Amino acid sequence: MTNLNEKKTAISQRQQVLRLLDRFTPALAFVALIGLWEISTRVFSIPSFLLPAPSRILADGFAVAASTWAGHIWATMRVALIGYLLAIAIGIPMAVGLAKSRFLARTLYPALIIIQSTPIVAVAPIIVVTLGAGDLPRIVITFLITFFPIVVSTTTGLLATPEELIELSRSLRAGTRREVMQVRLPYALPYIFSALKISTTLAVIGAVVAEFVAADKGLGFFISFSTSFFKIPQAFAGLVFLVILSMLLFRTVGFLQKRFAPWSLPKNER
Amino acid sequence: MNMPPAISFDAVEQVFTGNDGAPIHALSDLSFSVARHEFVSVLGPSGCGKSTLLRLVAGLIAPTGGSVSIFGYPVQEPRDEIGIVFQKPTLLPWYTVINNVTFPMRHKYGRVQAKDTARALQLLDLVGLADFADKRIDELSGGMQQRVGIARALLLDPDILLMDEPFSALDALTRDEMSFELLRIWRDRPKTVLFITHSIPEALLLSDRILVMSERPGSIREEIKVPFERPRTLETLGDPEFTRLANHIRSTLFSKPVAA
C-alpha cells in the first residue's frame, strides 16, 4: 500500500516536472540558442564584424550611454506610433467608404492597389526630398507601409457581416450609420485586430526604412551609422532594441484585444 | 366593413436577375391572405421562393408585380409591426443575452431605457431563459440561442411574427421541444405568424393553415386547413389524421402538376 502511494507521488512529481518543462520550453530554447551562438563564435573564432558574440553585443550595447539609447528609441517609436495611429485613423473610415459605396470602391481601390504595388522603400527617398527634413516624411512613409493591410482587412470584415444581420438592421430601419457602427464594425473586429497586429511590425519597418534614407536620430539611423563605422556589435545592439520595440507594440495590441474585445478571439486564446 | 387581413398577397410576381444576368422567376401569381392572430405555415421544396415571400412581407424587397399589404396598407418599407426570426439565430456575439434582446431598441432609437430592459427580462422569462440574461452568446446551446432570437423578435411587440425556418439548424430532439415551446409562447402572446418551413410534421403541429408551394416559380399548389384541436400535444403527433395529412402533403409535394 505504501509502495503504491510512493509510486503515485513519484508519478505526480514527474508530471509536475514535465509541466514546468513545458511552461519554460520557449525560454529554455531561447537561452540554448544564444548559448550555441556564443560558443560557436568562440570555437570557430568568427570575427566580430561578421557575427559578433552575444556577450560582445551586450558589452558594446552598454558602452553606449543610456540617454543616447533613449533618444534613438524614442525617435523611432514616435515615428512608428504616429504613422501607425494615422493609418488606423484614415484606414478604417476609408474601409467603411469602400464597403458601403460602390463609387468609392470603383475609384479608390485601383489607386490603393497602385500604392501598395509601389515598393515604398524605393519611393522613400523621393518622399524625403518632397516633404523635406523633420518627422513628416518618416511618418508618411510609415503610414504608407501600414495602412494597406488595415484597409483591406477592415473592408473584408465589413463585407463578411452575415446577410441576416444586415436584414435585421434594415428591418429596424436603423440607418446606415448605426448599421456600420453597431453591426458591421463590431463584426469586423477580428479582421481589424489581425491587421492591426500585422501592422505593428510594419510600422517599425516603415520607421526604420525612413531613417535609413534621411534622419539624424532613431534606431534605423543608429544602425546605418554604426555599420558605416564597422561597429557591427553596436549595430546588433540597435537591432535588439528594434526587435523589442516591435514585440512590445505587437503585444500591446494583443493585450488590448483581449481586454476590450475578448469575443473576437478564438476560444482558446481568451 | 371587415377588418383587413394581417397579410395579403395579390397576384405577386417576383423576378430576380441571376449572377449570369438571366432572369430568375422566383414567385408567380401568388395570392393568399393571413388573418389576424392566425398561424400559417408556408411549406415547399427548397428554392421555391419561400424566403423571398418572407422578405416581401418584411419590406426588405419590393415585388416585381402585384402587391403585398399589411393590415390593408401596401408594404413599401420595413415596418414596426413585424418581428423576424431568422434561420440562424443571428445574434451579436459582443453583447450579452439581455443586450441582444434589447438590441432592436438600441439599434432603432440609439438607447435602451430601464423599461426596455424590464420588458426584455420578461421575454427571456417567457422563452425560459430568465437565468441566462447576463451570459455571453457562445455560452448558449443552439436551441437557447434561437430562443434569444425569438425573444428579440418580440421586443417591439410586433403584430406579425415572420419565422424563416427557425428550427432547421437544430437537432431533431431540440426541434420538437422548440415547436411545443413556440406553441406555448404563441398561446401567451397571440401573434399573426407566418412560418416558413420544409418540415411537414412541424407545419402540421403548429399551424392553423398550411400553404403548400410549388417549385420555382413558386405559387400555391394547395391550401390545407389543419383540423386538430388546440392546445396541441404529443398525442396530436400520434393522431391517424396527422399521418394521413402528412402523407397527403408529401404526395402533393412530389407530384408534378403536369403529370397530375
pLDDT digits (tens, 9 = 90+) for A68-84: 999 999 999 999 999 99
Nearest neighbour of B92 by CB, restricted to A170, A178, A186: A186
Q: Which of B255, B241, B192 is nearest to B8 (CA)?
A: B192
- B175 pLDDT exceeds 80? yes
Collapsing DSSP to helix, strand or coil, A89 comes out as helix
Cα(B201)–Cα(A119) distance, rounded to whole angstroms?
Answer: 63
Q: Tell me how close the Cα of B37 comes to any Cα of chain A, in angstroms.
A: 21
| A interface with B, Cβ–Cβ below 8 Å | 162, 164-165, 167-174, 178, 182-183, 186, 189, 261, 263-264, 267
Report residue A174's pLDDT band, with 50, 70 and 90 as the boundaries. Answer: confident
pLDDT score for B79 = 86
Report residue A143's pLDDT band, with 50, 70 and 90 as the boundaries. Answer: very high
**Least trusted range by pLDDT, from A4-18, A138-152, B28-42:** A4-18
- A237 pLDDT exceeds 50? yes
User: Is the bond preceding residue A233 a cis peptide, omega within 30 degrees?
Assistant: no
Nearest neighbour of B93 by CB, restricted to A169, A172, A263: A263
pLDDT digits (tens, 9 = 90+) for A203-217: 999 999 999 988 889
Report residue B45's pLDDT band, with 50, 70 and 90 as the boundaries. Answer: confident
| Residue of chain A minimizing CA distance to B60 | A171
Q: With the C-alpha atoms ordered B196, B200, B204, B209, is the resulting torsion angle positive or negative?
A: positive
What does the pLDDT average to over A178-189? 93
Nearest neighbour of A171 by CB, restricted to B82, B88, B136: B82
pLDDT score for B238 = 85
pLDDT score for A268 = 74
| Residue of chain A minimizing CA distance to B95 | A263
DSSP structure class, residue B158: -
pLDDT score for A30 = 92
For residue A152, give Cα distances in angstroms to A2, A94, A96, A155, A191: 65, 10, 11, 5, 9
Q: Which residues does residue B34 pair with via DSSP β-bridges, in sequence order?
A: B7
- B208 pLDDT exceeds 50? yes
CB contact under 8 A, B86 and A168: yes
Cα(B148)–Cα(B92) distance, rounded to whole angstroms?
Answer: 11
Cβ count near A122 (within 10 Å): 8
From chain B, pick out residues whose CB is under 8 angstroms from the CB of A182: 106-107
CATH code for the structural domain at A54-269: 1.10.3720.10
CB contact under 8 A, B58 and A172: no
Concatenating the DSSP letter of every residue in B61-115 gives S--SEEEEEETTEEP-S--TTEEEE-SS----TTSBHHHHHSHHHHHHHS---HH
pLDDT score for B257 = 53
Copy the grid coordinates of residue B10.
395579390
Collapsing DSSP to helix, strand or coil, A83 comes out as helix
pLDDT digits (tens, 9 = 90+) for A212-232: 988 889 999 999 999 999 899
Q: Quote the ipTM score.
A: 0.86
Cα(B42)–Cα(B52) distance, rounded to whole angstroms?
Answer: 12
Residue A110, phi then psi, degrees to nearest 5: -60, -40
Among B55, B57, B85, B94, the strongest candidate for a mutation testing the A interface, having the largest count of A CBs within 10 A, is B94
Nearest neighbour of B84 by CB, restricted to A171, A186, A264: A171
pLDDT score for B260 = 39
Q: How far is CA B97 from the centre of its chain?
A: 22
